Structure 1
Amino acid sequence: MPARRPPARSSSASRIAIPQLDWRAPEPAPVVLVSGPEEVCAERAIAALRDYLRAEDPSLEVSDIRADDYVSGTLLGVTSPSLFGEPRLVRVSGVEKATDAFLTEALGYLEHPQDGATVILRHTGASVRGKKLLDAVRAGQGNGVEVPCPAVKRDGDRFDFASGEFRTAGKRIAPAALRALVSAFADDLTELAAACQQLIADVPGDITDQIVERYYGGRVETSAFTVADTAIAGRYGEALIALRHALASGADPVPLVAAVASKLRTMARVAGSRESTPSLAARLGMKDWQVDRARRDLSGWNETTLGMAIQATARADADVKGGSRDAVFALERMVTVIATRAPFGRSPH
């Protein structure tokens, strides 16, 4: 059985931050704080810790405690050594809603953690409840570690999440396929994670955009980014069809405009720069793939047409947020200006 080493501490441990571990690769410690709102990542981290400990010793005892419905004495009872000395894993949920009794006993436990026990404290950050306990853990009491699970909201974060799913599984996915997959599940990380795992389990070789289309074509076709991509590429007919398909599928006009605006802003930031992709990405706080994609999108555009597209999108944004009675017309006008690269009602030729 591999030996587990507790995190290194110093004489000033009470004043230093505890180790921060990636949720994809957590390691056990006497106390593990799994913090942050992203439940998908938290569940993965907690499951990985259980698997790690069970691989060390299959006799692992697993107990679950609800901090918001706590019975006094439970924590000490489930962490105390049993007759045969099996290792113990205690998963504590709802620390952001913990009772006074739990917080008092948990603070006491940090002073004298039980040998052979791993206590996982799950705090979503939804409230400041339990702050004293979190501060104590983070100050080094209990000789713990923290596994942050921040919210995954930005497109780049979702791209990194999905990319990590395939990288961890040792699977290759084409950049276009990855982007299509992320776009198809842009609103739900749980569904995105499930889609990644389905492709990993079902597809024996590399994952191409054709495979993503076959599995999730319906989702991809109605994606806001499909509307944006086809309009920016100048495929006017396809862009209008994609727009109408998206609206018929129940897509909200506001996110549709936001998707177009996001791509145009990225194009504007990248336009005219001759820096290398890595240096420009670093300067702008972007990913390399975002810079490369924006440069491809800029083909056929110039300063005048890009400015006109941005103005049309700003107008559509105001219209779909209440400035116009006809949101559909506002969207079609925006798509027309972008796809034809000409003022509305005027042919570019």
Structure 2
Amino acid sequence: MTTRVSPSEFILRTPAIGPAIALVVAVVVFGLTTDTFFNVDNLSLVVQQSLVIGTLALGQTLVILTAGIDLANAAIAVLSTLLIAKLTINGTDAPIALVVGIVAAALIGAVTGGLVTGLRLPPFIVTLGLLTIVTAASRLYAQGQSFPVTDPTLGWLGTTQYLFGQIEVTYGMAVMLAMFVGLWYALTKTAWGKHVYAVGNDPEAARLSGIHVRRTVLSVYVVAGLCYGIAAWQALGRVPNADPNAFQLGNLDSITAVVIGGTSLFGGRGSVLGTLVGALIVAVLRSGLTQAGIDNLYQDVATGALVIAAVAVDRFSRGRQR
């Protein structure tokens, strides 16, 4: 006998549904209350503005799915941009500098995962410490300077094309979409993805079922580091300048996108599709409120309220499922 599921229960069991509805509502509201929101160029700009935070949030999603958190992700991306830009200025071929920057981000992810799994330290404490260390390292490396990027390889993700002759798109959009699709497949269609969810739900039960918990968590931090390295490339495509003071709130914005997208801070529940929607919600909210003439401080209030509401819904849905 088939059990009927009410619409409210379906929404609670499918984390990405609620954020998708919220995104549609936000787009419609801002489209009706402002004169320029539905402009094709503006909608393209909204998507472009979500690229770096969306890519950071992709790595953050993997970490949060294992019941961890990464406060250093934006700082890692900034250090990666500085490595790439300064190496190029000093004569290193741009593709090699790019690989060095991305690999460096992955190595920092491996160090983070090693500390979390090897010493069994709380992810919050480990990444808080690394946030301080990486931020200081970036400023020491930059010596108070920013580094302009002129090489076309480093700015390639910002290259603009026109879809149907009207819609402005960049290669960065395509790369981010490909990353989301690839990690969606990895999380939903592979054994590794099932292990990630299992570890986030109950690491002890996962261990007893034969899953190598430490190896899984370590791999998550390495893949997340790769995402942060690619976010650095995205950043150089958006703004061709490596600045040690960039993305100071990028870690919080990425967590906001993940939580609004329906991924549980308690681990084991969520999706990269929801994170993509969450990143778009943040970008739509900021763009729409700006066009409506709302002060930036009130925009932060609205974003914070959304985060609290998302966590409250997650707690409620988990209580309903028990």
Normalising by structure 1, we get a TM-score of 0.24
Which structure dedicates a bigger proportion of its chain to strand? 1
Which structure dedicates a bigger proportion of its chain to helix? 2
Higher relative contact order (CA 8 A, sep 6+): 2
